[in-house]
Amino acid sequence: MQIKHNDVMEPGMKIYIPVSVAESRISKRYDTIPTETLHPNADEIQYLQRLVMHKDSAIIVLNKPAKVPMKGNLPVHNSMDVLAAAALSYGNEEGPKLVHKLDRESSGLLLMGRSKESFSRLSWLFSNIGFAKTSSQTWNDACEATVQRYWALVIGCPKEKQGIISAPLSKVLLNDGKAERIILAHPSGVNASQEALTEYRVLGPTINGCSWLELRPLTSRKHQVRVHCAEALGTPIVGDYKYGWFVHQRWKNMDRVDYEPFSGKPYKLRRPEGLEVQKGSVLSKVPLLHLHCREMVIPNIAKFLDNSGKWHDEGQAWASHKPDLLRFVAPMPSHMKISWNLMSSYLV
């Protein structure tokens, strides 16, 4: 007899769980079953290890590829959390845990905590900096300097070349609760909303109807950058069909004449000789999402934690010469690199 989600348990009742769900190693894989086995093969492990940009006693930083899911469940194969638990333990009893998330379709820097203490403190830092602060001024200053910067290719160009988007977000359920969508919160405040702030600047001229933006989220909300680009700026990210479907349709069908911003002369987009346009670039019929977490500055938490997990407010003595901050820059994925090269080579 199967039970329903709203059935009420009575004293003495028993629940029988299939053996496949009760495997002892599931607790170390975040209660997910991405495949028939919980052991990724050698190719998957080597692939993930090649993505590692930095590893120390407290954290691991990866350059996540596009189209890799973050959290596994029954129908999901090769999710980042499960693969990392198996491939990136490096001798620890437990694998690293995700400190923050990137959308499945996006790419870029992904931070993981290797211990419970580093995971907890960095998770606080990304959710609410006030929770992460301690009595250490050195650590607090490093927390204040934390930065995430994304690069995105958007359709159109914002009216202002730089600014801060302050637009609260709300979540609405669709298809009888089977799907959800993030929207700008209505001023009436009927639905619950969360404050959302994003700093942005335009990186260059509009070419082929598109512009490159640098975006720095000042809050951590689901789909924040994508919704702010599409609905607040009116410039959806190339490849973001969830929040920019209709704009994509118009963009692909319109005739455009672009002008060099300094001379005012017309130019056209061309493909440099010898460059193959990979599927997913800006010239593709169906471009992939052009959103990449390119830069990250975070506290050097390994300086404040010893191997036992004990916290040192002023840092460990042996690490006094170590920097208080770590900075990482991740190269763009292939489809975005090609779009960058295509758009930086035009004829005047």
Let me know how long the chain is.
Answer: 348
pLDDT at position 71 over 80? no
pLDDT of residue 31: 35
| Residue 26: pLDDT over 70 | no
Q: What is the mean pLDDT of residues 260-270?
A: 59
Burial class, 225, CB count within 10 angstroms (exposed 0-12 / middle 13-18 / buried 19+):
buried
**Least confident segment among 13-27, 195-209, 292-306, 329-343:** 13-27
Q: 346 or 82: whose pLDDT is higher? A: 82
Q: What is the mean pLDDT of residues 262-277?
A: 55
Report pLDDT digits (tens) over 193-250: 889 999 999 998 888 889 999 999 999 899 999 999 999 999 999 999 999 988 888 8
Whole-prediction pTM value?
A: 0.80
Reference 53, options 330, 322, 339, 307; nearest CA is: 330
State the average pLDDT over residues 329-341.
92
Q: Is the pLDDT of residue 295 over 50?
A: yes
- Looking at residue 35, what is its pLDDT? 40
Model confidence pLDDT, tens digit, residues 169-179: 998 888 777 77
Is the predicted pLDDT of residue 110 greater than 80, yes or no? yes
The CATH code of domain 149-290+336-347 reads: 3.30.2350
User: What is the mean predicted confidence (pLDDT) over 268-284?
Assistant: 63
Distance of CA 15 to the CA centre of its chain: 38
**C-alpha dist (Å) from residue 285 to 58, 244, 280, 282:** 43, 15, 8, 8
Q: Helix or strand or coil: residue 171?
A: strand
The domain ranges of the chain are 149-290+336-347
Whole-number pLDDT of residue 167: 93
103 is catalytic: yes
DSSP letter string, 144-212: HT-EEEEEEEEES--SSSEEEEE--EEEEEETTTTEEEEEEPPTT--S--B--EEEEEE-S--BTTEEE
From the candidates 31, 56, 81, 103, give the one annotated as an active-site residue.
Answer: 103
Is residue 23's pLDDT more than 80? no
Mean pLDDT of 123-130: 88
Average pLDDT in the 23-36 region?
36
Report d(CA 258, CA 266) in Å as an integer: 6
pLDDT of residue 186 exceeding 70, the answer is yes
pLDDT at 120: 92
Task: Please state, rounded to an integer, the average pLDDT across all residues of the chain.
Answer: 81
Most confident of 10-24, 39-53, 254-268: 39-53
Task: Read off the pLDDT band of 348 (50, 70, 90).
Answer: very low
Instruction: Give me the pLDDT at residue 255, please.
Output: 60
pLDDT reported for residue 176: 75
